[in-house]
Amino acid sequence: MTRNPANWISSVIVLALVVLIACSPEKKALKNFRYEKFEEVINYFQSVLTRQPGNGKANYYIAESYRQSNRIKESEKYYARAGGPGVNKDSVLFYLAKAQQANGKYAESKATLEELRSSTTLDDMRDRANKELAGLDYLGKLDEKKSYYRIKNLETLNSNFSEYSPAYLNGELYFTSSRSNERIYATTGTPYTDLFKAETKGAVVDPNTIKPLPISINTPNVNVGTITFSPDGKTMVFAKGNTGKRKGANNVDLYLSRFRNGEWTEPTQININQPDSWESSPAFSPDGRTLYFASNRKGGSGGLDIYTAQMDSRGRFSRVRNMGPDINTSGNETFPYVSENGKLYFSSDGHPGYGMLDIYVVNRANGKTAIENLGQPVNSTGDDFGIFLFKPDRGFFTSNREGGKGDDDIYTFINEDPNLKVVNYYLQGVTYNFTKDSTKEILPNTKVTILDGKGDVMQDFVTGNDGKFLFRVYENEKYTLIGETDGYLVKRGPFTTNGKSVPLETLKELITNVTLDTLLVLDRLEKNKPYELRNIYFGFDSANIRISSGRELDKLVEVLNDNPEIKIEMGSHTDSVGSVEFNINLSQRRAESTVNYLIRKGIAPERLVAKGYGKSKPIARNTNPDGTDNPAGRQRNRRTEFKILEVGIRQEKKEEDDDDKYFKKDNDH
């Protein structure tokens, strides 16, 4: 069979065109955009603009590349000329307004947002425009507020490169910098970052002591940065990722290392990382039991959100919780930090601010939170983030504002607010149980959880051999404590700080610690032991539950929900008035009435048994020794009790046992 030369030549030409198109510079640039190699995208489309200055598509991709690589200031003029098929006009206007804010052009930004508000057909985008407009109005009021902050560039530490995210520990300042890397990270066009430390006395840094952390921490050609330490300095958590390679890490994850035998152990990823999300900017709470971090995982408010996770005594993290809409917005919330006085600081471009990331503090009062922009001079039209207080009135933060030495610089600050004095409130308690002879004894190894007034979990604590627990609380709030341990019923106990506040005018120090006391008594989980329910009342000769009794039964609903492994009998008792048959019948109807109430509240019927005992089990005399009536005794006998019939396996305990087996198996290997 012979091949037709003309057809063969045509095929070669077509194939060559396909290869040429597939390898075209524009297609490569769009591919780089998908892989977040923004510097290469910018370089290509800049070459397009030299030939076609009005090319809306080229302007759009340059603008997006600058914005997504945290250089939104540079994006303004490109958003202003962006457009064309496939380019979302609403998005262009919104980010043009944000870029104008970042460049301090608030009047222009307001005009752009008003244009967006009137032209968009989307309610969500109109809401975002309204929120930004309200934020611009807020800035005017913020600038009228007196600031007590004094700031200064930490020139002895900063270089021509980037220095950010300071953290102070035992006379050393840890920070992130790109100063020693020659390799360029394609997303930002800047060198990769490493972690460094330097000796310092307060804010006086010795530049001769600056050195990088070990290579086990600073992986070559990988962005490493943002570090936090447990209060004892023996546990380090830091962020690492962004290799810039196609087969490397695209996202950022959190790593943990421990200080043992004079050196840091090989870092390992912590168990709250998610494979397709970004986890960064970790920060331990002052007690070391809560880890704050930023993540763009699914289910958030948008962009980066701030989350918390609880760390147990084994160094494992659990109870990951989004901090909610008071903190998180559709923008980015990141770089959380909790100071010694318990206040949460963070950075955001979603709350009303000067244009890019601003630093905010969360003020809490009467169970509610208020977000406060720290204002100028701490905040600027640049990125302001990564705050850390080494004393209650002074510390460090990061900014890339005009006038710095490099890209990001570290600044020091002093807060001279005369009303800076604060009170830290702590709730300490002991878990007990009562023995059969009513002796109170300490109950160790008890998990105690504190809930806020809305019923949300704030923190967990596992008591030691002394049975003691400790929580941070706030003035004029209500809490619920939940205690649970093997062999005991899960127990709830209320606590309030109302009326326990210390007048600020009596304070002499910047920080005053006040410790409040409580007890939490748990009941042993015993079969066939009667637990009396007080204040369960019925009408005379009636099985109808009174409203006041319903409130008491609701507490039993809580017990059953907290202890899903138990099956109970609801027992009703009467006094001696009336015949045996009458009282058996009456008490049975009353027992069934309580069971039906519990079922209506969501308790599974198979967990409940109704039993009427009539007058067969008195706990007091119905008559006095002389035969006269004993009203007090008869009232005690007219009672409702529950007792445990069966005890299954508590699911949470089973899951913990499964985890222990898994980790033991992993260690064995």
Q: Binning pLDDT at 50, 70 and 90, where does residue 436 land?
A: confident
The answer to whether residue 140 scores a pLDDT higher than 80 is: yes
**202-208 own/partner pairs: CB under 8 Å, 24+ apart:** 202/390, 202/391, 202/394, 203/152, 203/154, 203/390, 203/394, 203/396, 203/412, 204/156, 205/154, 205/156, 205/157, 205/173, 206/156, 207/156, 207/157
The b-or-e profile of 615-653 (16+ CB within 10 A means b, else e) is beebeeebeeeeeeebeebbebbbbbbbbbeeeeebeee
More confident residue, 7 or 360: 360
Work out the average pLDDT over 349-372.
89
Residue in the structure block whose two tokens are 């990722």: 241
422-521: which CATH architecture?
Sandwich (2.60)
Q: Binning pLDDT at 50, 70 and 90, where does residue 650 land?
A: low
Instruction: Render pLDDT for 22-73 as a digit per residue (tens, 0 to 9).
Output: 458 888 989 989 888 899 999 999 999 999 999 999 999 999 999 988 889 9
DSSP 623: B
The answer to whether residue 303 scores a pLDDT higher than 80 is: yes
The answer to whether residue 548 scores a pLDDT higher than 80 is: no
Q: Whole-number mean pLDDT of the chain?
A: 87
The candidate with the shortest Cα–Cα distance to 351, out of 376, 332, 365, is 332
Output the pLDDT for position 59. 94
511-521/422-434 β-pairing: parallel
Instruction: Render pLDDT for 387-403 as a digit per residue (tens, 0 to 9).
Output: 999 999 999 999 999 89
Question: Which helix or strand (DSSP H or E) is residue 41 part of?
Answer: helix 38-51
CB neighbours of residue 124 within 10 Å: 10
User: In 3-state terms, what secondary structure has residue 219?
Assistant: coil
As a whole number of angstroms, the distance between CA 338 and CA 323 comes to 14
Which range (5-14, 289-298, 419-428) has the least confidence? Answer: 5-14
The candidate with the shortest Cα–Cα distance to 43, out of 34, 33, 35, is 33
List phi, psi (to 5°) of 611: -140, 125
Which range (115-129, 244-258, 524-538) has the least confidence? Answer: 244-258
Output the pLDDT for position 585. 93
List phi, psi (to 5°) of 93: -65, -40
Chain-centroid distance, C-alpha 501: 27
List phi, psi (to 5°) of 446: -110, 130
User: In 3-state terms, what secondary structure has residue 355?
Assistant: coil
As a whole number of angstroms, the distance between CA 476 and CA 17 comes to 74
The answer to whether residue 319 scores a pLDDT higher than 50 is: yes
The dotted CATH code for 530-652 is 3.30.1330.60
The answer to whether residue 662 scores a pLDDT higher than 90 is: no
Q: Binning pLDDT at 50, 70 and 90, where does residue 4 land?
A: very low
What is the rounded (10 degree) CA torsion for 643, 648, 652, 656?
Answer: 130
Which range (78-92, 148-162, 178-192) has the least confidence? Answer: 178-192
The full length of the chain comes to 669
As a whole number of angstroms, the distance between CA 61 and CA 32 comes to 11
As a whole number of angstroms, the distance between CA 20 and CA 163 comes to 43
As a whole number of angstroms, the distance between CA 657 and CA 447 comes to 15
More confident residue, 410 or 547: 410
Residue 509: which residues within 8 A CB-CB, separation 6 or more?
421
Instruction: Render pLDDT for 261-276 as a digit per residue (tens, 0 to 9).
Output: 889 999 999 999 998 8
More confident residue, 333 or 364: 333
As a whole number of angstroms, the distance between CA 197 and CA 296 comes to 29
- Per CATH, 38-144 and 149-337 having the same topology is answered no
The answer to whether residue 292 scores a pLDDT higher than 90 is: yes
Percent of the chain's residues with pLDDT above 70 = 91
- By the 8 A CB rule, do 249 and 297 touch? no
Output the pLDDT for position 1. 40
Work out the average pLDDT over 600-616.
94
Q: Binning pLDDT at 50, 70 and 90, where does residue 243 land?
A: low
Output the pLDDT for position 250. 57
Output the pLDDT for position 333. 96
CA distances from 665 to 562, 657, 660, 661, 669 (A): 31, 12, 8, 6, 6
Output the pLDDT for position 535. 73
Output the pLDDT for position 48. 93
User: In 3-state terms, what secondary structure has residue 634?
Assistant: helix
CA distances from 513 to 426, 451, 468 (A): 8, 21, 18
Output the pLDDT for position 181. 75
How far apart, in Å, do the first and last CA atoms of the chain sit? Answer: 64
The answer to whether residue 367 scores a pLDDT higher than 60 is: yes
More confident residue, 244 or 311: 311
As a whole number of angstroms, the distance between CA 611 and CA 590 comes to 9
Instruction: Render pLDDT for 505-531 as a digit per residue (tens, 0 to 9).
Output: 888 888 899 999 999 999 988 888 888
Overall CATH class of domain 149-337: mainly beta
User: In 3-state terms, what secondary structure has residue 497?
Assistant: coil
The answer to whether residue 151 scores a pLDDT higher than 80 is: yes
Query: Can you give the residue ranges of every domain in the chain?
Result: 38-144, 149-337, 422-521, 530-652
Overall CATH class of domain 38-144: mainly alpha
- By the 8 A CB rule, do 53 and 69 touch? no
Structure tokens, 140: 């005017």
The candidate with the shortest Cα–Cα distance to 530, out of 580, 492, 586, 573, is 573
The answer to whether residue 663 scores a pLDDT higher than 50 is: no
Output the pLDDT for position 342. 86
Q: Binning pLDDT at 50, 70 and 90, where does residue 547 land?
A: confident
Percent of the chain's residues with pLDDT above 90 = 60
Sign, CA dihedral 44-46-51-54, equals positive
